[in-house]
Amino acid sequence: MVTSLAKDWRNSRATSTVTNTLDFSGLTPFNSRVPKSLRQNVSYRKRIIKLGNESESAREELWEACKRDLLFYVNTFVWVYDPRNMPPVPRSVPFVTWPFQDAGFLKIYLAIKNQYHLLIEKTRDMGASWMLLVVFDWLWRFHDEVSLLLGSRKEEYVDNGKRDKKSLFGKLDHLDDHLPHWLIPKGFERTNLKRWNGETKSIITGESTNKDFGRGDRRTAVGLDEFAAVENGFAILQAIYDTTGCVIYNSTHQGISTAFYDRRNNPLIKKLVFHWTQHPQKAKGLYFDKDGKPRSPWYDHECAVRKHRILIAQELDIDPQGSADIFFDPQTITRLEQDTCRAPMTYGKLHYDNFDMGVEHFQRTPHGELKLWINLDAKGSPPADRRYAIGADIGMGMGGSGSSNSALVVGDCKTQEQVATLATPNMVPEEFARYAVALAKFFHRAHLIWESNGPGRIFGKVVMESGYRNIYY
């Protein structure tokens, strides 16, 4: 006989609806029944599993409840693993969600359901990787014909074939290990980098984040874990452009030269932020220092352990600028700018042939993107009695107010002064490379140097194909 609890779930199906908005109430018709204190939650889990073991109709009701309520599934059946736990605390523990995780789970789901990209930037150890995997598992387990792709920077971090919980697929295996047999699908196939559900015809596959990751594929969603650490990040952005309408980018920051940071600055990509102040345990005793920065006893301890400002910015503060290894102190740069910098002498636009990058002329205009700190001669050219060098920092050129700039800086090798700059978010690497070659020709075949990682690889390819050879390569 189906119990009154199961009947209650069945009756509520007639009145509960799933909504596409961020009103989460319609998405979680059963989760409110689950106790959140650890001891009560474990007892509840035991009772629910016993109920399912003893009654086929109850199993059907529970399966349906899990399908319709992601948070009910998580808080009733999902266990996660933390090898840092020491006895008597078990290393496998029930996933009992905090409020910020409730919202996070549902926002990840809605991104997939409504097919938009989502970026998760986070403090370390907030459960984000587990959350991404659990959403993928839930879709695969309970929903028909879902096709999902997972990636991380090394194949062994995706699936090492040893059920190692360090890998993404090892974590998915851990979910299976703690589920009752009646939530394991019939026709379940588990091979290297692949999970097939014979009941729902859904699949999860994995791949290392090589430069052709996901190229030519078609997926319901793609999950990229610790994307800031991926070496081929910019190439992957191009490779997966047509693969799916939903990419979940999950990472802590590792500076501002990453594809993850570029995505973070794209105003068209929705953001989900997991800051330590949202976690009740980490935020216990929250206070603010004289500069208004939030702190807590937990945060103070973590800062003392990590010590280095870059690790604190990267792992705790969600501070992309601070997580980069900046050679010069930012305060020193600000002081030097105030004390020594002067306004450009000329603003203008460089006209050139887009085929051979030959310079046509420099046009003075009050709002020109090219800034000069030198006087041009009668022919409109820079002084020819000296050598010049150009440094290039290349962005993706996606445009928009939040996009990072691509920049060119021209130096006078004789006076050691900066004589020209250009900064723009609106040139893709190929176009920016052609502009840089033209600018080098304008400055009497200046020595051209660029940052070669990320989009710099695309930039460098175009420069080499142009035939320009006064370069540092």
The parts of the chain modelled with pLDDT lower than 70 are: 1-25, 322-331, 400-403
The confidence score (pLDDT) of residue 15 equals 33
The confidence score (pLDDT) of residue 329 equals 64
DSSP-derived secondary structure for 137-152 = HHHHHHSTT-EEEEEE
The confidence score (pLDDT) of residue 12 equals 37
DSSP-derived secondary structure for 416-463 = TEEEEEEEESS--HHHHHHHHHHHHHHTTSPEEEE--STTHHHHHHHH
The amino acid that residue 8 corresponds to is D
The confidence score (pLDDT) of residue 395 equals 84
CATH code 3.30.420.240 region(s) in the chain: 346-466
Spatial contact of 361 and 352, defined as CB atoms under 8 Å apart:
no
The confidence score (pLDDT) of residue 421 equals 97
For residue 2, the number of C-alpha atoms closer than 13 Å in the C-beta half-sphere is: 14
Q: Are strands 147-152 and 194-197 parallel, antiparallel or unpaired?
A: unpaired
The confidence score (pLDDT) of residue 451 equals 87
CA distance 214 to 96: 33
The class of domain 346-466 in CATH terms is alpha beta
CATH code 3.40.50.300 region(s) in the chain: 25-274
End-to-end Cα distance, the chain: 75
Which residues, at least 6 apart from 47, have a Cβ–Cβ distance to it below 8 Å?
Answer: none
The confidence score (pLDDT) of residue 4 equals 46
* Cis status of the peptide bond prior to 88, with omega within 30 of 0: yes
The amino acid that residue 260 corresponds to is F
Encoded tokens for 58: 């109850």
CA distance 107 to 118: 9
Encoded tokens for 398: 């996606």
Closest among 380, 378, 345 to 361, alpha carbons compared:
380
Domain 25-274 has CATH 1.10.3720.10: no
CA distance 171 to 93: 13
- pTM for the predicted model, two decimal places: 0.71
The confidence score (pLDDT) of residue 130 equals 97
Spatial contact of 141 and 197, defined as CB atoms under 8 Å apart:
yes
Encoded tokens for 150: 């997972």
